[in-house]
Copies of this chain bind each other. A is one copy, B any other.
């Protein structure tokens, strides 16, 4: 029987289980409870078992953070695929990004937490890559010059990421964001892009 996983000496897939537990914690309380001991306990394993799969607590945290970023990138892709039209598709990327920050503040903050250790592999998919694909489409449609892709990408990412962080309340600054605020921001970003 595969359906009942008896409790064995060997866990079976501890690495994945730890990351998943970390994501659950992140969802509930952000960066706070991502320690080795806490996560080990949450999957019923001794703290030292973690080190068979991660070289340090920091690298476990980095893996969790990476997974959260990939989660975001997936949602962006899905949002873009769900609508048609170059502009709508591009706008959907920004909406998905901000929606993620607002509905999953814990995951969002973990996704962009500064880790001492770099992630083991590249993000797959990466939010940055998804954005670039969207911008290439703008380019193909003649909405912006090929030479402008770099700066447009930096501008779009910056605006949306900055707004997400602020709206999210992550930073010790200011009020909440309404759907109108989000819409207006994306309008302004679009204006900036076309004006280039």
| A positions within 8 Å CB-CB of B | 30-32, 62, 65-66, 69, 109, 112, 114-116, 118-119, 123, 126-128, 150-152, 154-155, 157-163, 165-166, 170-174, 177, 181, 184-185, 187-189, 191-193, 195-196
Contacts and interface: CB of A to CB of B under 8 A. Distances in A.
Number of copies: 2
A24 to B, nearest CB: 19
A154 B181 contact: yes
A30 B114 CA distance: 10
A154 B158 contact: no
Contact of A195 (B150, B172, B191): B191
Contacts of A189: 155, 192
The 4 closest A-B pairs by CB, nearest first: A162-B162, A192-B192, A191-B195, A158-B162
A119 to B, nearest CB: 6
A81 to B, nearest CB: 22
A79 B2 CA distance: 66
Nearest to A186: B155
A172 B31 contact: no
Nearest to A190: B192
Given A159-B159, A191-B195, 15 more contacts: A69-B172, A112-B165, A112-B171, A112-B172, A151-B181, A155-B159, A155-B184, A157-B166, A158-B166, A161-B162, A161-B165, A161-B166, A161-B171, A188-B193, A191-B192
Nearest to A150: B181
B151 A185 contact: yes
A120 B128 CA distance: 37
Contacts of A159: 155, 158-159, 162
A187 B191 CA distance: 12
A188 B184 contact: no
11 contacts: A32-B116, A109-B114, A118-B172, A154-B163, A154-B166, A154-B181, A158-B160, A158-B163, A162-B163, A162-B165, A192-B192
